[in-house]
Amino acid sequence: MKDLAGKHIVLGLSGGIACYKAAELCRALVKAGATVQVVMTDAALQFITPVTMQALSGRPVFSSQWDPRKAAGADLGAGVGNNMAHINLTREADAIVVAPASADFMSKLLHGGADDLLSLMCLARPLDTVPLIVAPAMNREMWANPATQRNVAQLKADGIHVLDVGQGDQACGEVGDGRMLEADELLYDVTAFFAPKVMAGQHVVVTAGPTYEAIDPVRGITNLSSGKMGFAIARAAHEAGARVTLVAGPVSLPTPRGVQRVDVKSARNMQLALDMYMDDATVFVSAAAVADWRPASASDQKIKKDGSGHVPTLTFCENPDLLAGIAASERAQSGQLYCVGFAAESHNLLHHAQTKRARKGVPLLVGNIGPATFGQDHNALLLVDEEGVVEFPHADKLSLSRLLVADIARRRAIWTTASA
């Protein structure tokens, strides 16, 4: 299912060069399954045409509070208009998103100004059912101005969801804070806004990807884990309202928005990183494919082939069991930390997952077939606890991660209560 299927978004554009990003955002919202109704201020019309936004949204664009047309979805009777677009446009909306929101427009929102269709519509929206999300866009000095910062603080206090700004090159030639976020970032924030906040107040630590155990400066032992499942879990936990720390082995994946990422290489590096972040963690999801063994000693120089046919002998030692160690900690045993393990198997998944869960001492073990999922965008999961087994059938990893995070939240609440 598309992330925003069934959602109706009113997309408002105030004046600013960032209107070009609003076109990208409109297209992204539609691709995510939302219906989009565009409303533009007179200033926005100076930067991008209604024809562009109509083509991208598939709906007529509104810009005047005196527009007599019937708003799509308004129950006024066939062909009837009532010159009340500011009312009609909001009543079926799941949210109003103003992107870009200029400094002037945010000031207008703060003071209840209503001298154009977009500001009038924001003032007339039903507060309990139609949230307002604004994406600021302005010059860095305008953004830093105390007046703007006061306005932002008060808008948030009034219940308006003010998004962050980006940092970088600006159209004026200056560099700094104040850019509107990119379309993919805005799409993420809108999608996350609608996600149930079942992890609100939690600190979720997730490990992801492989580890790399050095043989010499240019060779090492690793595995085929791509990290995609762990990164999807981190994103889903953040969408669900958690503060998320992602401890990632060597992978080339973008960091999920809003997630703190810590890059590591070996199993021992991962252990040190976990030691730093577990003190206040409430959920630990061990999705990394941590190497069971490492070379007992790594050469400080490349091991060279000398033509003699002699093959060097490698001696191995066991890596620390990160999940078992954390599951045995005082915080986990007392109910303050809920631990979830992953098992990537090649065969006999249920048997190996049940055995591993008991050996690791965790309340929940998630099993999957490694060769079938490594590097792929889809997966199928087997959730094993002391009561039995639940199967999550084949789906994309983000959808599975959202289901898993919701399930972990439910299980954690029960487990924490039972441990108290």
Print the domain residue range for 52. 8-194
Q: What is the pLDDT of residues 177-188, one digit of tens each?
A: 889 999 999 999
Question: 225 and 187, same structural domain?
Answer: no
| CATH code of the domain in which 61 resides | 3.40.50.1950
Question: 146 and 209, same structural domain?
Answer: no
Please check whether residue 331 lies inside any domain of the structure: yes
Mean pLDDT (the chain, rounded): 92
Provide mean pLDDT across the span 10-20. 96
Q: What is the distance between the alpha carbons of residues 395 and 314, in angstroms, rounded to a whole number? A: 40
| CATH code of the domain in which 239 resides | 3.40.50.10300
- 374 has a pLDDT exceeding 90: no
pLDDT for the residue 83: 67
pLDDT for the residue 308: 84
Please give the torsion angle defined by the CA atoms of residues 311, 312, 315 and 319, in that order, rounded to the nearest 10 degrees: -100
From 19, 26, 122, 172, active-site residue: 172
Give the number of domains in the chain: 2
Q: What is the pLDDT of residues 97-156, one digit of tens each?
A: 999 999 999 999 999 999 999 999 999 999 999 999 999 999 999 999 999 999 999 999
Question: 414 and 284, same structural domain?
Answer: yes
DSSP string across 188-215: HHHHHHHS--TTTT-EEEEEESB--EEE
Question: 395 and 251, same structural domain?
Answer: yes
Question: 40 and 141, same structural domain?
Answer: yes
Q: Are 43 and 71 a contacting pair, CB within 8 Å?
A: no
Q: What is the distance between the alpha carbons of residues 219 and 217, in angstroms, rounded to a whole number? A: 6
Question: 72 and 15, same structural domain?
Answer: yes
Number of residues that make up the chain: 420
Provide mean pLDDT across the span 83-94. 83
- 78 has a pLDDT exceeding 60: no
Please check whether residue 2 lies inside any domain of the structure: no
Q: Are 25 and 183 a contacting pair, CB within 8 Å?
A: yes
Q: What is the distance between the alpha carbons of residues 397 and 229, in angstroms, rounded to a whole number? A: 6
Confidence of residue 85 (pLDDT cuts 50, 70, 90): confident
Q: Which of 75-79, 319-323, 369-373 has the lowest mean pLDDT?
A: 75-79
pTM: 0.90
Please check whether residue 48 lies inside any domain of the structure: yes
Provide mean pLDDT across the span 392-409. 95
- Is 317 an active-site residue? no
Question: 261 and 286, same structural domain?
Answer: yes
Please check whether residue 120 lies inside any domain of the structure: yes
- 79 has a pLDDT exceeding 90: no
Q: What is the distance between the alpha carbons of residues 203 and 260, in angstroms, rounded to a whole number? A: 11
